[in-house]
Amino acid sequence: MWTTRLDDALALARGVEAGLVSVGAYSEGDLAMPFGGWKQSGFGGVEKSLRAFEQWTREKSVWIRHRP
């Protein structure tokens, strides 16, 4: 998503059913961030995290490039 309004970015991130949301950049964020796919995406877990054992949760990473 491309926007200069942080409120719009956060509203989109809350509403989109996706494991990764990028705002203001075409990026996967930091490769060390935990990632988990939703629905039929991914392998059903949260990679790179102790939470990988919590299969009943849904993880969402939000990457926002914010320039004051």
Q: What is the pLDDT of residues 12-26, one digit of tens each?
A: 889 988 777 888 877
**Residues 17-24: contacts with CB under 8 Å, at least 24 apart:** 18/60, 19/59, 19/60, 19/61, 20/60, 20/61, 20/63, 21/60, 21/61, 21/62, 21/63, 22/63, 23/62, 23/63, 23/64, 23/65, 24/64, 24/65, 24/66
Whole-model pTM: value is 0.50
Greater pLDDT, 44 or 8: 8
> In which domain, by residue range, is 56 found?
6-64
Greater pLDDT, 19 or 57: 19
pLDDT tier at 8, thresholds 50, 70, 90: very high
Query: pLDDT tens digits for 43-53?
Result: 555 566 666 66
Q: How many domains is the chain partitioned into structurally?
A: 1
Q: Is 1 a member of any domain? A: no
